[in-house]
Structure 1
Amino acid sequence: MALDDLKQVYQAVLLDYAASTKYRQPLANPAKEVSLVNESCGDRLTLQVDLAGGKISRIACQAQGCAISQASATILASLAVQQPQAVLDRLQAAFWRMLEGQEISKEEEELLGDAVLLKGVARFPARVKCAGLAWQALAEALERKEQDDR
């Protein structure tokens, strides 16, 4: 497959994630809710989570804005649900290193799954905030969990 063909496949997959409604339905009485706005692009996101047994039992992302932010939110939700804190920490660390243009290991690529499709965003600093908005919201929600548990 030619490089241009591969890029088109990646773009199509990201557009499918952006159009997905799987994690868009708001949760009734979520344990945590974080709303963020990316001022540089106008993206808006509300992330809601329920926690049970040290894992995210349910997650919802209501994302409005560019395809990158919406796709990233859906990918994050699919990766985060039913994951323990240790895995979420590893996911987030690998994702942010990738967005900063740093190398990640094969193991981290496997952990990130389709989130690696966002790797090219690192070449466009203005778009890093778009890709990272949902991930930032998850970090804030988990931080609030720790604070609320004290």
Structure 2
Amino acid sequence: MQNLFVSSRKIISLIAVCSTLSLTGCASIVNGSKQSLKIEAVDAVTGAPKAATCNVSKADLSIGVKSSETFEVNRSSKSLYITCEDGVSTGHLREKSDFAQRFLFLNIAADFCLVSCFIDGYNKAWYEYPSPLIVEMKPAS
């Protein structure tokens, strides 16, 4: 009976350790390394939506998108630079990503940040851009 009790404790301990390790990289598991974003081009005076062609750029990206379309970017601590045009007006936006602290706390709780912080840091999964990204359009001069 004593051996059975010791074996059960070892199995329960092993399950607890495996469960904790499965949470490593919590932000990577929940968020992934990419984020879907949407640009809303609006008239700076009226706030009315406008159909515009936009260029989105940052350190590792330069793409053209239309306003109101969804597109994906790699999560990053780098700012996004957005320029939109509709033939009559233009708009510019520089948007920084936010650091999602809640995942850092979960990583500390899961494995004292021994493995999870490296995984999430490598994937930049802690960072999040606001969406939609609002670009105010003003008459081109």
TM-score, length basis structure 2: 0.29
Say which structure is richer in strand: 2
Larger Rg: 2
TM-score, length basis structure 1: 0.28
Say which structure is richer in helix: 1
Greater relative contact order (Cα < 8 A, sep 6+): 2
